[in-house]
Structure 1
Amino acid sequence: MFNLLCVLGPTASGKTALAVRMAAELGGEVISADSRQVYRGMDIGTGKDLEEYDYEGRSIPYHLIDIVDAGYKYNVFEYQQDFVKVWKDCKNRNVFPVLCGGSGLYLEAVLKAYRLLAVPVNEALRKTLENKSLSELSVILSAYKRMHNTTDVDTVKRAVRAIEIEEYYKLHSCIEGEFPEIHPLIVGVDVSREVRRTRIDKRLQERLKNGMVEEVQQLLEQDIAPEDLIYYGLEYKYLTLYLTGQLTYEDMVEKLNIAIHQFAKRQMTWFRKMERQGFSIHWIDGNLPMDEKVMLIRELMETGCQSSSV
């Protein structure tokens, strides 16, 4: 019997709305699997869209959103620990958990059911990497056998940290056990590349109009270092570069738009890789009416179907 519903998909696929609806249908709560939505004050740029958690006049509870301050470097080890606490709490309250997100490493770390080690800083390694470009670091990272979350590695600092983690795991094994026995139904929200591109373009313009620049400016005024915001990548990287005079507004918008499209493509590559490794992802057409998507998921939950697409 399934004890977790996982709704995954690339950015702008509509996964959050579906996860909220399913939580409402199942008497459940949503657990976020988004590596940026954990940060307070980073709302528009991370696409929290908290109004989506309201369904027919009632608020659907959500977890692992707004749990640490901007400027902090939250990691997958902490995410696993936090997820287990929330999952156990839901179970104890007889609430059905719905995991939702697009951060591949966070999702997989939970669904693989193992515990990672806390990885310390390796100053000597960082010294050897300090003059390398992002493309050079990406080549180094791709050579490791253990899969890493390349979807989020879009800054030099993040790439260095990723290599640091890989090097540590060459010498230290994962801690097996001490993880709840999870039986997930994994549903992927699939939209065509054309639809995804249109949605991303439209959403970026809406966020810029709705105060995304001002949000990043406020974070800078709170004495969060520019390099810390750049570390988070995507919106926070390019808007910080604009606000610190390193990019014009037009260049920022163009580069950010391209980066978001590339990010969505990497997300899909990650999910396909999960399938090759044995994860059964049931892909649902994201363009279907919501009621039809809900019906399909309910059928999967009732039948325990093991096919990979519907």
Structure 2
Amino acid sequence: MQIQKKTPLIVILGPTANGKTRLGIELAKQFNGEIISADSRQVFRRMDIGTGKDLQEYGDLPYHLIDIAEPGQEYNLFRYAQDFSSAFEKVISRNKLPFLVGGTGMYLDATLQRYALTSAPIDKKLRSELEEKSHEQLIHQLHELSPSLHNETDSIDKDRTIRAIEIALAEKSGSPCVHWPDFEPCVIGLQFPREVTRERISARLSARLEEGMIEEVENLIQDGVSHEALEHYGLEYRFISQHLLGEMNLNDMHQKLRSAIHQFAKQQEKWFRNIEKKGVKIHWLDTQNSLFDQGSKIVSSFLKNI
């Protein structure tokens, strides 16, 4: 009896500004693959410069989970899991090799650990009741419902905590769950020395501002995306929104945004360390040598032995 081979999934992760997308594209072209994005912001249309989509680098390479939602829509972990599963099945149905590429730690961890996720529609009546409680009371209620949180940011502010309570209640009520596809992952990591990452972040931020990132945010506001919504779409959109509101001048915005992205890169590194602690093997590349050559050897060996 022939043993059925597991479906391979190549995962490329790393902090922001470390070259994940370029390497993923190069390897996907080499191994007849397609890209599935693991970036929580690139799903949104017309948010191109601030999210670093760099779509021109793809050429004719197929990609998934980019430009699939309108700014202002909620795009959560449950929807990502559904979309990932659908994209994965499409890629393998074409006999292509799926490459999951990105730096959103929660998306990557959810995929590799196959989080048990439940659909949780917005409940206006419940939200009205929860709004009457203090943030501390909500945090206590959330911990009673879900003692081990997937995401510690659920308790950062009141809106996030209320949403987390909705999800926790939906899980207890037996709402529809995500069915992850079966795959065998090979995880490749990029992580330059911290001082190099800082330099790359600073250079990329300056380049994006010159490319028109402020104008991109202005266009989103003109299209009806509120400043409040922009607060939830990542650091670039949050700080530029505050600048456009007159809360800080251009130079202050640039400096504060740069520092915030540096801190964000550290948070990403923490996510990846936690993924490793859960038993996931990450093949960290030597950034002093050819990333493509190293990645190509790792993928070739993995495919031969799977």
Identical aligned pairs, as a percentage?
39
How far is the alpha carbon of 1:291 from its aligned partner? 3.7
How far is the alpha carbon of 1:129 from its aligned partner? 4.7
How far is the alpha carbon of 1:162 from its aligned partner? 6.1
Which of 12, 16, 20 is residue 21 of structure 2 equivalent to?
16
How far is the alpha carbon of 1:253 from its aligned partner? 1.1
Give the root-mean-square deviation of aligned CA atoms: 2.8
Change (3 A) 1:174 1:303: farther
How far is the alpha carbon of 1:169 from its aligned partner? 7.2
Change (3 A) 1:207 1:177: closer
Please give the per-residue CA displacement for 1:23-45, whole angstroms capped at 9, x wherever unaligned: 10110100001000000000000
1:205 is aligned to 206
| Separation of aligned partners in 2, 1:273 and 1:28 | 28
Q: Are 1:6 and 2:7 an aligned pair? A: no
| Separation of aligned partners in 1, 2:255 and 2:147 | 32
Q: Which has the larger radius of gyration?
A: 2
Asked whether the equivalents of residues 146 and 166 of structure 1 are also in contact (C-alpha less than 8 Å), the reply is no
Change (3 A) 1:251 1:170: farther
Structure 1: runs of 5 or more not aligned: 306-310
Matches within 5 A, 1:1-310: 1=6, 3-54=8-59, 59-121=60-122, 122-123=126-127, 124-129=129-134, 145-148=148-151, 150=153, 156=157, 159-160=160-161, 163-164=164-165, 167-168=168-169, 171=172, 178-302=179-303, 304=305
| Separation of aligned partners in 2, 1:13 and 1:162 | 32
| Separation of aligned partners in 2, 1:144 and 1:259 | 30
| Separation of aligned partners in 1, 2:21 and 2:217 | 23
- Secondary structure of 1:6's partner? strand
Asked whether the equivalents of residues 45 and 71 of structure 2 are also in contact (C-alpha less than 8 Å), the reply is yes
How far is the alpha carbon of 1:156 from its aligned partner? 4.1
| Separation of aligned partners in 1, 2:198 and 2:107 | 24
The one-letter code matched in structure 2 to 1:110 is: T
| Separation of aligned partners in 1, 2:294 and 2:175 | 37
How far is the alpha carbon of 1:113 from its aligned partner? 2.6
The one-letter code matched in structure 2 to 1:248 is: N
| Separation of aligned partners in 1, 2:178 and 2:239 | 40
Change (3 A) 1:158 1:53: farther
Structure 2: runs of 5 or more not aligned: 1-5
Q: TM-score, normalising length from structure 2?
A: 0.85
The one-letter code matched in structure 1 to 2:73 is: Y
| Separation of aligned partners in 2, 1:273 and 1:291 | 26
| Separation of aligned partners in 2, 1:125 and 1:285 | 49
